Amino acid sequence: MDFNDTPEEAEFRAEANAFLSQHLEPKDAAAYGRKGRDNLLERAKKWQRTKAEGGFAQITWPKEMGGRGGTIIQQVIWNQEESKFDAPTGPFAIGLGMCIPTVIAFGSDEHKKRYVEKALVGENIWCQLFSEPAAGSDVAGLKTKAVKDGDDWVINGQKVWTSGAHYSDYGILLVRTDPDVPKHKGLTMFIVDMKQQGVDVRPIHQASGGREFNEVYFTDVRIPDSDRLGDPGMGWKVALVTLMNERLAVGGSPGPDWNEIMDYARSAGTISDGAFRQKLADWYVAAQGYKLTKFRTQTALSKGETPGPENSIGKIINANHLQDICNSAIEMQDHYGLINDKDKAPADAIFQDSFMWAPGLRIAGGTDEILKNIIAERVLGLPQDVRVDKDKAFSAM
C-alpha cells in the first residue's frame, strides 16, 4: 500500500485543514486544558452543524442524505486532520457512527427522510440501547420485552450503561419479541423516542466524577410497528451491523496516548529513565501496529465491505494501553498522582480522569474476554466455545 497522498488527496487534505483551522484551535494548544470539557454539548452541536454546512459531515454518505458523496480515503483524511484539533465530536460519535448507519441499512425511506439529516446537522442526538443488568457481554440474553398490541409494540424492561441517554433525542432499542425460540432468534430492533412517556433515564455517577452512562427504564412504552428496523425476530442480524460499527468506533480510544505521556515526561524530567523509555517504545510499536491494521479495515471499507471481526483487535489494544499509559503517568507524578482536582493536579488531572475511565472502556462494546473469543473464532478460525443453550428456547433457560 502506498501511504502517500495522491495529488487529489493532498488537495482534499489541504482543504480540510484550512476549514478546521478556520473554526477550531489546534489540539496541542488545549491538550491538557479544561476548555474541551466545558459546555461540551452546546459546542458539539454547533461544530456538527458547522461541519454539515461546510460539506465535511460524514464524507462518504450520499449527497441526497446530506453527505459529501466522497470516498472512504477522504473520510480517513478528514478524521486524521480533525484529530489534530480540539473538536468536540463525542456526543455524536454513537449516533453517526453506529445508530444512523443502522437506520440507513435497515430503515424505510421514511425513516431516512425523518432521521438522517437531522442527526447529520446536529439537531438530534442518538444513543444505543443494548446492554442490560443480566445481559452485557451476552447481549442476546436480554430480557426487555416487546408485546404486539394492534399497530404498536409495548415495551417493558431495563437497559444499563447507555452512553449519552440523558441528552439523547432518539435511540435504537434491541428487545425480545419471541421468548419461545433460541435467544438469538427472538430479538427485534426498534427506533425509540427517548423523550416519550414511560422512558425513565437515570444517570450513573462514575468514579471519575462523570455521568456519561445511564440506566434506562421502559414502562409500557408504546412504539409503532412502523418504527421497527428489520423483520420481527431478525434483530440479531441488525444488531451485528451496529456492533461491528461500534467496535470500529470504540477501537480509536479517546484519552492520552504515547505522544502526550512523552510530552509530559519531558516536562517532568523523567524522559531519560530507561524503564520508562522501554514502555514508551512498546506503546509506540503497538500504536503503529494498530495503525497498519486500521489500513486493512479502510481498504475493506473502500471496497464496500462491512467492518469485520478484526476490528476487535484495536479495541483490546487501545483500551488496555490507555489504562497502562495513565497508570504510568500517575506513578510518575509520585504523591501528586493522588490528586484528581483539575485545578491542582499535574496536567489538569487528564491522566487521573482517563485512568478511571479506562476500565469502562474495556467493557464498552464487548469485554476483553468476549473480543478475544471473537478474534479466536472468527479471525483465526479456532473452535467455538461449547454453548449448552444453542438450540434451547429462551423461555426454557
Residues in Cβ contact with 5 at an 8 Å cutoff, skipping those fewer than 6 apart: 13, 77
pLDDT for 47:
97
Per-residue pLDDT reduced to its tens digit, 69-100: 998 788 888 988 998 898 998 899 999 989 99
Can you give the length of the chain in residues? 397
* Nearest-angstrom CA–CA distance, 322 and 318: 6
For the cut 80, the answer to whether the pLDDT of residue 311 exceeds it is no
The class that CATH gives domain 126-238 is mainly beta
Residue range 385-397: mean pLDDT, rounded: 83
CB 247 within 8 Å of CB 366: yes
Burial class (CB in 10 A: 0-12, 13-18, 19+), 251: buried
Residue range 33-52: mean pLDDT, rounded: 81
Q: What is the three-class DSSP state of 128? A: strand
Question: CB under 8 Å, gap of 24 or more: what pairs does 290-296 form?
Answer: 290/251, 290/314, 290/317, 290/318, 294/251, 295/1, 295/3
Per-residue pLDDT reduced to its tens digit, 136-181: 888 999 999 999 999 999 999 999 999 999 999 999 999 999 999 9
* Nearest-angstrom CA–CA distance, 388 and 397: 10
> What are the C-alpha distances in Å from 134 to residues 144, 271, 359?
10, 45, 19
Residue range 221-248: mean pLDDT, rounded: 88
CB 261 within 8 Å of CB 325: yes
Q: DSSP letters of 182-234?
A: BGGGSEEEEEEETTSTTEEEEEPPPTTS----EEEEEEEEEEEGGGEESSTTB
Least-confidence region, from 107-121, 165-179, 269-283, 343-357: 343-357
* Nearest-angstrom CA–CA distance, 71 and 147: 42
pLDDT for 138:
87
Banded model confidence at residue 250, pLDDT cuts 50, 70, 90: very low
| Percent of the chain with pLDDT strictly greater than 90 | 51
pLDDT for 33:
44
Least-confidence region, from 184-188, 243-247, 260-264, 311-315: 243-247
Residue range 208-228: mean pLDDT, rounded: 92
Residue range 47-68: mean pLDDT, rounded: 91
Higher pLDDT: 113 or 210? It is: 113
pLDDT for 35:
47
Residue range 352-357: mean pLDDT, rounded: 86
For the cut 50, the answer to whether the pLDDT of residue 29 exceeds it is no
Residue range 129-138: mean pLDDT, rounded: 90
Are domains 126-238 and 252-379 of this chain identical in fold?
no
Locate 51 and state its grid cell: 461541519
Banded model confidence at residue 246, pLDDT cuts 50, 70, 90: low
What residues does each domain of the chain span? Answer: 7-88, 126-238, 252-379
Instruction: Please give the single-letter amino acid code of residue 104.
Output: I
* Nearest-angstrom CA–CA distance, 85 and 27: 4
* Nearest-angstrom CA–CA distance, 56 and 68: 7
The torsion angles phi and psi of 2, rounded to 5 degrees, stand at: -90, 115
| Segments in 195-338 forming alpha helices (H) | 235-251, 258-268, 274-302, 312-332
For the cut 90, the answer to whether the pLDDT of residue 56 exceeds it is yes
For the cut 60, the answer to whether the pLDDT of residue 37 exceeds it is no
Domain 252-379 has CATH 1.20.140.10: yes
